[in-house]
Structure 1
Amino acid sequence: MSLIAKLKRALTLAALCMATCPAFAQSIDIDKPLTIAKQGSFFVGGRDITSDTLSTLPQADPKGTVTVEQMYVQYQVPVHPSSTSVVFIHGCCLTGAEWETTPDGRMGWAEYFVRKGFPTYVVDQAARGRSAANAASVGAVKTGKLPPDALPSGFSVGREFAWALFRFGPRYPEAYPGLQFPLEAQDELWKQMVPDWAYSMSTPNPTVPSLGLLSGRLAKTVLISHSQSGIYPFQAVAGGADGIAAIVAVEPTACPAANVDARPYTRVPILLLYGDFIVESPPWAAHYAACKAFAASVNAAGGHVDVVETTQLGMHGNSHMLMQDRNNLKIADVVTDWIKHKVH
Structure 2
Amino acid sequence: GSTILTGTLIRHGDTGDPPTDDANHKDNYYPAYPIGAVDANVVARAGAISAAPAGPNNYYALEYYKQLVPNAEVTLPGSTCVTCDPKALSPANTWTPQNLAALVEKLGGAIVATHSQSGIMGHHMVRILKERGHLDMLKGLITIEGSCSLPNSGLKAEDFDNIPYMALKGDYTATSEVCQTTVDAINARRAAGHGTAKADYVKLDELGNPIFNGTTHMMMLGTNNLEIADVILNWVDENVISKNKKISKEVTARSARR
> 1:168-317, aligned counterparts within 5 Å?
177=25, 178=29, 179-185=31-37, 187-200=62-75, 201-202=77-78, 203=89, 204-239=93-128, 240=130, 241-242=134-135, 243-257=137-151, 261-279=156-174, 285=175, 288-302=176-190, 304-313=198-207, 314=209, 315-317=212-214
**Aligned residue runs from structure 1 range 108-127, under 5 A:** none
Residue ranges of structure 2 left out of the alignment (5+ in a row): 5-10, 38-58, 79-88, 191-196, 245-258
8 A contact 2:140–2:163 mirrored in 1: yes
Cα offset for 1:293?
Answer: 0.8
How far the C-alpha of 1:255 sits from its partner, in A, is 2.7
Question: Equivalent of 1:328, from 219, 225, 233?
Answer: 225
Partner SS state of residue 249, structure 1: strand
d(CA) in 1 for partners of 2:104 and 2:34? 33
Distance 1:248 1:340, change over 3 A: same
Contact 1:221–1:245 (Cα < 8 Å) also in 2? yes
Relative contact order: is structure 1 or structure 2 higher (C-alpha 8 Å, sep ≥ 6)?
1
The structure with more radius of gyration: 2
What per-residue deviation string (whole Å, max 9, x for no partner) do you get for residues 288-325 of structure 1? 11110111011112353111111122212112111111
Contact 1:227 1:250 in 2 (8 A): yes
Work out whether residues 166 and 201 of structure 2, in 8 Å CA contact, stay in contact via their aligned partners in 1.
yes
With the length of structure 2 as denominator, give the TM-score of the two structures: 0.57
Q: 1:291 to 1:252 in 2, by over 3 A?
A: same
Cα distance, 1:181 vs structure 2: 1.3
Cα separation, 2, equivalents of 1:264 and 1:306? 15
Structure 1: gaps (5+ residues): 1-159, 161-167, 280-284
Letter in structure 2 aligned against 1:271:
M
Q: Given the superposition, is the C-alpha separation of residues 256 and 198 from structure 1 closer, same or farther in structure 2, using an over 3 Å criterion?
A: farther
> 1:319 is matched with which residue?
216
Identical aligned pairs, as a percentage? Answer: 26
1:17-53: CA deviation from partner (whole Å, max 9, x where unpaired): xxxxxxxxxxxxxxxxxxxxxxxxxxxxxxxxxxxxx
Aligned residues: 168
Amino acid paired to 1:316: N
AA in 1 matched with 2:146: P
Give the 3 Å change call, closer, same or farther, for CA 325–225 of structure 1 in structure 2.
Answer: same
SS at match of 2:149: coil
Give the direction of change, closer, same or farther, for the CA distance of 1:293–1:220 in structure 2 (3 Å limit): same
Deviations 1:121-140 (A, max 9, x none): xxxxxxxxxxxxxxxxxxxx
- What CA RMSD, in Å, does the superposition of the two structures yield over aligned residues? 2.9
2:102 corresponds to which letter in structure 1? Answer: L
Residue 257 of structure 1 contacts residue 290 of structure 1 at CA under 8 Å; is this kept in 2? no
TM-score of the superposed pair, with normalisation by structure 1 = 0.44
Displacement of 1:244: 1.0
Deviates most, 211-220 or 297-306 = 297-306
Report the Cα distance in structure 1 between the residues aligned to 2:141 and 2:156, rounded to whole angstroms. 17
Higher helix share: 2
Judged with a 3 Å threshold, the aligned counterparts in structure 2 of structure 1 residues 217 and 267 are, in CA distance, closer, same or farther, namely same
CA distance in 2, matches of 1:307, 1:225: 14
8 Å Cα contact 2:32-2:222 kept in structure 1: yes
* One-letter code aligned to 2:161: T
- State the Cα distance separating 1:342 from its structure 2 match: 1.4
Cα shift at 1:260: 5.7
Q: Measure how far apart 1:198 and its partner are.
A: 4.9
